[in-house]
Amino acid sequence: MSFKIASSPHHHNQRTTSSLMQWVALAALPGIAVQAVFFGYGVLVQLLLAICTAWLCEALILRLRQKAVLPRLLDHSALVTAVLLAIAIPPYAPWWLIVIGTAFAIVMVKQLYGGLGNNLFNPAMAAYVMLLISFPVQMTQWLPSVSLQPVALSPLDAFCMVFTEYSCSGFSLSQLQQGIDGSTQATPLDSLRQDLAAGMTLAESLQRPVFYSFAGAGWLWVNLAYLLGGLLLIQQKVISWRIPAAVLAGLAVPSLLFWLGSAGASPSPLFHLFSGATMLAAFFIATDPVSASTTDKGRLWYGALIGLLVYLIRSYGGYPDAFAFAVLLANMSVPLIDYYTRPRTYGHKAKRDLK
């Protein structure tokens, strides 16, 4: 009987890495379905491109490293990375964007550091930030919710948009970004930031068609769907409740304080919690078992740090949504967090009491 030393992720529930990754992918399906319904079939095209690129890059690098290809492909870690990146970028972004991003995530962020368990940063978020900095125009071309789009796009239109940047009827992405009222539709978070910076009140900004109830049109249901999937992951003990709870608390508490202090200029906590990538990031991205904190107390500090950073960047930074930057900054802090939150060594207290 041999003792095998392996790198993280380590779990105490006797589940294989493959099983854990499969659960993550399955739990994301409700959110992906709702996202496709509200923002178009381009989501599915991006998923297909990302998954194929991830598998191909993983296989090529493993072959170059003279590692067994099939067992590592079947751990489904490349699949999860591809899924998370594909649903984070605009659904109708050009095909080469997701290919470059996925290849960067697998080759540079994951395999360059030794493969699963050795990467310092979340591969999907590192690739997202790289794409956002390198191709800011393409990464911010989100269409409004389907109900606000002037033209309905079929699955074939989605395929054409991704590969040719035009629909089958000849509409460009910029034309489709024009809402029913003829004005360009940005994402809810971006619209709110621009309106407040222009001197509009919160109530005036929320009258825009891009908003629905207390969150953005479509985004409320997308976040609810990812929340459902995240609760399933907690129920199945695939992830710990600590990181998602701390992320949501770290975002809700400062937003509540500022909302109570200046309700006319600061959006409510519900707006922050159900807009953008909040639930997706809290349950599926921040909980990455490799790049997140590994101690119970550390997970709470790690999650709270992400939530606080998201609020600060959303409110005062140059980007409307901030989870990718917040997660990467928290990844950098993990060694320090783990060092100061590591549990007491067994027997240490008793030995001290004997002195």
Residues 325 and 210 placed together within one structural domain of the fold:
yes
HEC secondary structure over the chain? CCCCCCCCCCCCCCCCHHHHHHHHHHHCHHHHHHHHHHHCCHHHHHHHHHHHHHHHHHHHHHHHCCCCHHHHHCCCHHHHHHHHHHCCCCCCCCHHHHHHHHHHHHHHHHHHHCCCCCCCCCHHHHHHHHHHHHCHHHHCCCCCCHHHCCCCCCHHHHHHHHHHCECCCCCEHHHHCECCCCCECCCHHHHHHHHHHCCCCHHHHCCCCCEECCEECCHHHHHHHHHHHHHHHHHCCCCCCHHHHHHHHHHHHHHHHHHHHCCCCCCCHHHHHCCCCHHHHHHHHCCCCCCCCCCHHHHHHHHHHHHHHHHHHHHHCCCCCCHHHHHHHHHHHHHHHHHHHCCCCCCHHHHHHHC
The pLDDT value recorded for residue 174 is: 79
Q: Contact at 8 Å (CB) between 249 and 306? A: no
Domain of 298, in residue numbers: 186-341
The pLDDT value recorded for residue 183 is: 40
Omega before residue 9 within 30° of 0, cis = yes
The pLDDT value recorded for residue 346 is: 60
Lowest-confidence segment of 103-112, 188-197, 225-234 by average pLDDT: 188-197
The pLDDT value recorded for residue 283 is: 97
Residue 5 maps to a domain: no
Residue 353 has pLDDT above 90, yes or no: no
The pLDDT value recorded for residue 125 is: 95
Q: What are phi and psi of 290, to 5 degrees?
A: -90, -50
How far apart are the C-alpha atoms of 276 and 271, rounded to whole Å?
9
Residues 145 and 209 placed together within one structural domain of the fold:
no
Residue 355 maps to a domain: no
Residue 280 has pLDDT above 90, yes or no: yes
Residue 289 maps to a domain: yes
Structure tokens of 190? 């971006």
Residues 171 and 30 placed together within one structural domain of the fold:
yes
The pLDDT value recorded for residue 242 is: 97
How many domains would you assign to the chain?
Answer: 2
Confidence of residue 52 (pLDDT cuts 50, 70, 90): very high
Q: What is the mean pLDDT of residues 188-208?
A: 73
- The pTM of the full predicted model, rounded to 2 decimals, is 0.88
Residue 1 maps to a domain: no
Confidence of residue 351 (pLDDT cuts 50, 70, 90): very low
The pLDDT value recorded for residue 14 is: 60
Residue 348 maps to a domain: no
Residue 1 has pLDDT above 60, yes or no: no
How far apart are the C-alpha atoms of 123 and 85, rounded to whole Å?
9
Residues 35 and 170 placed together within one structural domain of the fold:
yes
Residue 184 has pLDDT above 70, yes or no: no
Lowest-confidence segment of 48-52, 117-121, 328-332 by average pLDDT: 117-121
**Closest Cα to residue 324, out of 126, 84, 131?**
126
Residues 238 and 318 placed together within one structural domain of the fold:
yes
Residues 159 and 255 placed together within one structural domain of the fold:
no
Confidence of residue 10 (pLDDT cuts 50, 70, 90): low
Q: What angle do CA 322, 325, 327 make, to 5 degrees?
A: 100
Residue 11 maps to a domain: no
Domain limit, last residue, from 181, 196, 226: 181
Q: Output the CA torsion 140→53→331→69 (10° steps).
A: 180
Structure tokens of 61? 């690098």
Residues 43 and 100 placed together within one structural domain of the fold:
yes
Q: Per this entry, what is the length of the chain?
A: 355
Question: What's the whole-number average pLDDT of the chain?
Answer: 86
Residues 151 and 243 placed together within one structural domain of the fold:
no
Residues 205 and 143 placed together within one structural domain of the fold:
no
User: What pairs with residue 211 in β-bridges?
Assistant: 216
Residue 222 has pLDDT above 50, yes or no: yes
Q: What is the mean pLDDT of residues 167-190?
A: 68
Residues 203 and 320 placed together within one structural domain of the fold:
yes
Query: Higher pLDDT residue, 11 or 198?
Result: 198
Confidence of residue 11 (pLDDT cuts 50, 70, 90): low
Domain limit, last residue, from 157, 181, 205: 181
The pLDDT value recorded for residue 345 is: 66
The pLDDT tens digits for 81-133 are: 999 999 999 999 999 999 999 999 999 999 988 888 888 899 999 999 999 99
Residues 28 and 163 placed together within one structural domain of the fold:
yes
Domain limit, last residue, from 152, 181, 210: 181
Residues 24 and 173 placed together within one structural domain of the fold:
yes
